[in-house]
């Protein structure tokens, strides 16, 4: 079957349409993964965040996640309590891997029973950036519970950031910045996570939908997405009862009594770098 035949086909049965579309996507994925694009000159980076607007890379750059403040730290410390989030190494480790994409301009939203309207920019001048574009709600229907009787209004916000990957085995998770975004932003919006293959595709948009009635402004510089690159390597898993050796390891860990025993004995370092090409300054975890 030719690569784009599924665009021309007409289906009368919804289930058959979904099944065949999944098969087509699987076939296309296999075709794309076998086409390794070559590059003439050697590169120092495996993945580049490119500011297509040439306007925000200096003032609101992509940042290492470990350099972006955690959203709970300020309020907890101001209340006089001890900030204990790092006590959970799994959550703390997750908060520090990958990169944070922040909002490149102000977006003012108003959501109610009539729908959702938005204004781009923070003043009367017309913004150079595009506003959110409505998406087909049927694609994402049923993924979360709407409040205040508002309609489902998924929006696609076109980002000036484009991603270029020079290693065909690397893809990226585009996730909500759960540990970095303003809690009110996370309460107001459902941010749709996804995986994107950036070897030949470069768009890194933000897709979200209002969850309730509100009026809220996403400010320039506010964290929007947590981007975590990963290697597309085959992983074969199994399941079942433990072996004798596994049962012994489950039952007793000789290091459990040590302070920070997980970090000292089990945790592995994750390395993410960020390089500004104009200065070749390099940050590393």
CB 195 within 8 Å of CB 173: yes
Q: What is the pLDDT of residue 203?
A: 95
* pLDDT at position 17: 52
Q: Full-prediction pTM beyond 0.85?
A: no
Q: Residue 270: its pLDDT value, please?
A: 75
- Per-residue tokens: 252: 């007793």
Q: For position 42, what pLDDT does the model report?
A: 58
Helix (H, G, I), strand (E, B) or coil at 189: strand
Integer Cα distance of 174 and 194 in angstroms: 5
Query: Taking the CB of residue 244, how many other CB atoms lie within 10 A of it?
Result: 6
- Domain 47-233, CATH among 3.40.50.620, 3.40.250.10, 3.40.50.1010, 2.70.40.10: 2.70.40.10
User: For residues 82 and 134, what is the distance between their CA atoms, to the nearest angstrom?
Assistant: 43
The token pair that represents 88 in the structure block: 């959970």
Is the distance from CB of 156 to CB of 133 less than 8 angstroms?
yes
Which helix (H) or strand (E) segment holds residue 59: the answer is: none
Are 80 and 130 in contact by the 8 Å Cβ rule? The answer is: no
Of all helices (H) and strands (E), which one includes residue 128? none
Provide the token pair at 204.
């890194």
Q: Please, what's the b/e burial string for 247-264 (b: 16 or more CB within 10 A of its CB; e: otherwise)?
A: eeeeeeeeeeeeeeeeee
Per-position pLDDT tens, the chain of length 285: 443 343 344 444 445 555 566 566 556 555 555 444 444 455 689 999 999 999 999 999 999 999 999 999 989 989 999 999 998 889 999 999 999 999 999 999 999 999 999 999 876 677 899 999 999 999 999 999 999 999 999 999 999 999 999 999 999 999 999 999 999 999 999 999 999 999 899 999 999 999 999 999 999 999 999 999 999 888 899 999 999 999 998 888 887 777 776 767 777 777 778 877 654 444 544
Distance CA 270, CA 238 (A): 25
> What is the structure's pLDDT at 21?
60
- Tell me which H or E stretch contains 25: helix 14-33
Report the pLDDT value the prediction gives residue 8, as an integer from 0 to 100.
41
């Amino acid at each position: 079957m030719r690569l784009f035949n599924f665009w021309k086909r007409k289906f009368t049965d919804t289930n058959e349409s979904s099944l065949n579309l999944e098969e087509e996507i699987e076939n296309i994925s296999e075709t794309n993964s076998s086409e390794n694009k070559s590059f003439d000159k050697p590169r120092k980076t495996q993945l580049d965040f490119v500011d297509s607007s040439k306007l925000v890379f200096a003032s609101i750059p992509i940042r290492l996640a470990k350099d972006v403040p955690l959203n709970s730290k300020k309020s907890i410390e101001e209340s006089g309590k001890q900030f204990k989030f790092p006590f959970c190494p799994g959550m703390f480790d997750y908060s520090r891997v990958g990169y944070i994409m922040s909002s490149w301009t102000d977006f003012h939203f108003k959501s109610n029973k009539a729908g959702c309207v938005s204004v781009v920019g923070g003043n009367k001048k017309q913004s150079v950036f595009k506003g959110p574009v409505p998406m087909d709600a049927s694609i994402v229907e049923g993924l979360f519970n709407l409040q205040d009787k508002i309609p489902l209004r998924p929006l696609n916000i076109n980002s000036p950031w484009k991603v270029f990957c020079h290693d065909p085995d690397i893809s990226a998770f585009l996730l909500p910045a759960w540990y970095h975004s303003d809690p009110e932003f996370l309460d107001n919006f459902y941010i749709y996570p996804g995986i994107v293959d950036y070897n030949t595709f470069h768009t890194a948009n933000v897709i979200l939908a209002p969850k309730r009635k509100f009026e809220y402004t996403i400010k320039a510089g506010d964290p929007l997405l947590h981007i975590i690159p990963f290697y597309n390597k085959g992983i074969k898993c199994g399941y079942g009862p433990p072996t004798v050796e596994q049962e012994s390891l489950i039952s007793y860990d000789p290091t459990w009594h040590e302070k920070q025993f997980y970090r000292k004995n089990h945790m592995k370092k994750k390395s993410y770098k960020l390089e500004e090409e104009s200065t070749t300054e390099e940050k590393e975890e």
